[in-house]
Amino acid sequence: MDRIRISGGRRLEGFIPISGAKNAALPLMIASLLTSETMTLHNVPRLSDVRLLMRILGNHGVDAAISGKRIGQSDESGETITLSARDIVDTTAPYELVSRMRASFWVVAPLLARMGEARVSLPGGCAIGTRPVDLLLMALEKLGASIEIDSGYVIAKAPKGLRGGLIDFPKVTVGGTHVALMAASLAHGTTEIHNAAREPEVADLAECLIKMGARIEGIGTSRIVIEGVSRLGGAHHHVLPDRIETGTYAMAVAMTGGDVMLGGARSDLLQSALGVLQQAGVEVLTSDLGIRIRRNGNGLMPVDIETQPFPGFPTDLQAQFMALMTRADGNSRIHETIFENRFMHVQELARLGAKIRLDGDVAYVEGRTRLTGAPVMATDLRASVSLVIAALAAEGETLVNRVYHLDRGFEALEKKLFRCGADIERLSGER
Ligand code: UD1
């Protein structure tokens, strides 16, 4: 099992290319099930979650191919993936595959919309709270599907096809909105989604669906209207840059000090997090090239945050920000409002010397903490990268175990940081 070794204390200087967004690539790949024509996705990140989803889609009959690297392309240029679901050979998504990645549950929507039935195992994925799928199933029921749960499987049926309806989410759900968008695109009649997620990855999916022939209005707002069509076609689509990867490296630079250009990053995708970094005293400069993050010498101010659906501060940057706040010139308060139990990084950060007190869904972070290297364990995707960030600023050596969590969501993490001067390496195959 690979580990990552980090010796802290180096400033980060240079250029980090930002990859395509994992959370956009996954639903876009799943949307390929909606059409018998070929879908071509550019700028897809090289991640284990992407590879796993290709296997899952392959199980349903999707032919997937990755095009070779073009001349002059660096390792970090995203891949081009073509997906062709000419014939769906199986409408079952088995437990062995779905339990390894929660987002793969979303195949329920295109399978149901196109084939009239789907049998999909209840999901697994990151261990951050209960993460139910009741709202996703509610959305499908509003579109006329019958839903049964049997032996851990959701059996969704709509033999005569789905029909448009009103889906009013009581809570903002990204996955629920993806599912509703895909299903409604092939339903008979009009669907309205109220309280839709406004995350940029939802907009990216909607834009791709439009290229495939879907009729969608209200993209990027909380009220989306979809006029169903009888068939969708192929499309070419470029995956948008990863705002969570962007924010993560921005926090790494804020943590160590230094000056890094995050190439290809888009500030409109993470205004809230960038604003928080500016409040903390970090310089943020945006240009056509990307976002430049700079902190030279000056201390970090403590900032209180609360995670919120987009455009608020993303829950996927909460752990990283907590690591950063251990070095602020004062105490801060972090309120997690999206997921219960998303504080598993706290005890691992404590191994590096962090002083964080939990009270329900609020974490109180003591600033001015001296961090020191230690062996730590990655627990979930975002939690594990917070340990990397903390280790970059800690005195001495940190070994991060279970880095397969990182490989799910961060492309070439150690290479990107190494090229900016971090003392970081991957130790292969050791326990
Ligand atoms: C997606 C992201 C994840 C991010 C999260 C919130 C992907 C692959 N994952 O996850 O990185 O942290 O959005 O921005 O894009 N909920 C229910 N019932 C449901 C569905 C959700 O109660 O049926 C609750 C969840 O428990 C959570 C909240 O709604 O409290 C938001 O979850 P949701 O937006 O659905 O997260 P995901 O789509 O799973």
Give the domain CATH number at 319: 3.65.10.10
Average pLDDT over residues 83-94: 97
The verdict on 36 and 143 lying in the same domain is yes
Share of the chain above pLDDT 90, in %: 86
Tell me, in angstroms, the distance from the centre of ligand 1 to residue 176's CA: 8
Q: Does ligand 1 lie within 6 Å of residue 318's CB atom? A: no
Which residues does 268 contact at the CB level (< 8 Å), separation at least 6? Answer: none
The verdict on 185 and 248 lying in the same domain is no
The verdict on 259 and 187 lying in the same domain is no
Give SS3 for 63: strand
Predicted local distance difference test score (pLDDT) of residue 125 = 47
Which residue range(s) make up the domain with 118? 22-238
d(CA 99, CA 68): 30
Residue 384's nearest CA partner among 351, 414, 344 is: 344
- For residue 48, what are the CA distances in angstroms to 8, 287, 418? 27, 31, 21
d(CA 85, CA 20): 23
Domain closes at, from 238, 273, 307: 238
The rounded mean pLDDT for the chain is 94
Q: Which of 174, 193, 244 to mutate to test the pocket of ligand 1 (most atoms within 8 A of CB)?
A: 174
Q: Which residues of 12-36 are buried (b: 16+ CB within 10 A; e: fewer)?
A: bbeebbbbbbbbbbbbbbbbbbbbe
Predicted local distance difference test score (pLDDT) of residue 100 = 87
- Can 126 be counted among the known catalytic residues? yes
Q: Does ligand 1 lie within 6 Å of residue 134's CB atom? A: yes
The verdict on 217 and 140 lying in the same domain is yes
User: In this structure, how many other beta carbons lie within 10 angstroms of the beta carbon of residue 358?
Assistant: 13
Predicted local distance difference test score (pLDDT) of residue 357 = 97
**DSSP 8-state code for residue 188:** B
Q: Which amino acid is at 128?
A: I
Chain centroid offset of residue 234 CA:
24
Q: Are the C-beta atoms of 55 and 80 separated by less than 8 Å?
A: no
> Does residue 92 register a pLDDT over 60?
yes
The verdict on 190 and 258 lying in the same domain is no
Please tell me the pTM assigned to this model: 0.96
**Residue 128's pLDDT band (boundaries 50, 70, 90)?**
very low
Average pLDDT over residues 341-363: 94
> Does residue 126 register a pLDDT over 50?
no
> Does residue 290 register a pLDDT over 70?
yes
The verdict on 158 and 256 lying in the same domain is no
Q: Does ligand 1 lie within 6 Å of residue 131's CB atom? A: yes
Share of the chain above pLDDT 70, in %: 95
d(CA 77, CA 144): 42
The verdict on 124 and 143 lying in the same domain is yes
The verdict on 215 and 325 lying in the same domain is no
The verdict on 90 and 209 lying in the same domain is yes
Residue 266's nearest CA partner among 21, 10, 5, 15 is: 21
Tell me, in angstroms, the distance from the centre of ligand 1 to residue 296's CA: 37
Higher-confidence position of 340 and 196: 196
pLDDT digits (tens, 9 = 90+) for 232-274: 999 999 999 999 999 999 999 999 999 999 999 999 999 999 9
Average pLDDT over residues 199-219: 98
Read off the tokens for 429: 């195959």
Q: Does ligand 1 lie within 6 Å of residue 340's CB atom? A: no
Residue 153's nearest CA partner among 95, 79, 96 is: 95
Which residues does 347 contact at the CB level (< 8 Å), separation at least 6? Answer: none
pLDDT digits (tens, 9 = 90+) for 387-429: 999 999 999 999 998 888 899 999 999 999 999 999 999 998 7
> Does residue 124 register a pLDDT over 80?
no
Domain closes at, from 238, 266, 291: 238
The verdict on 233 and 245 lying in the same domain is no
The verdict on 129 and 101 lying in the same domain is yes
Tell me, in angstroms, the distance from the centre of ligand 1 to residue 370's CA: 34
The verdict on 366 and 422 lying in the same domain is yes
Predicted local distance difference test score (pLDDT) of residue 218 = 98
Determine the longest span between alpha carbons in the chain, in angstroms.
Answer: 65
Tell me, in angstroms, the distance from the centre of ligand 1 to residue 132's CA: 9
> Does residue 115 register a pLDDT over 50?
yes
Question: Which atom of ligand 1 is nearest the CA belonging to 309?
Answer: 14
Total of domains in the chain: 2
Which residues does 287 contact at the CB level (< 8 Å), separation at least 6? Answer: none
Cα angle, residue 168 at apex, residues 163 and 173 outer, rounded to 5°: 105
Average pLDDT over residues 118-124: 88
Residue 215's nearest CA partner among 241, 187, 194 is: 187
Domain closes at, from 217, 238, 259: 238
Question: Which atom of ligand 1 is nearest the CA belonging to 199?
Answer: 14
Residue 227's nearest CA partner among 216, 237, 211, 242 is: 216
Find the catalytic residue in 54, 93, 113, 126: 126
pLDDT digits (tens, 9 = 90+) for 129-186: 456 899 999 999 999 999 999 988 999 999 999 999 999 999 999 999 999 999 999 9
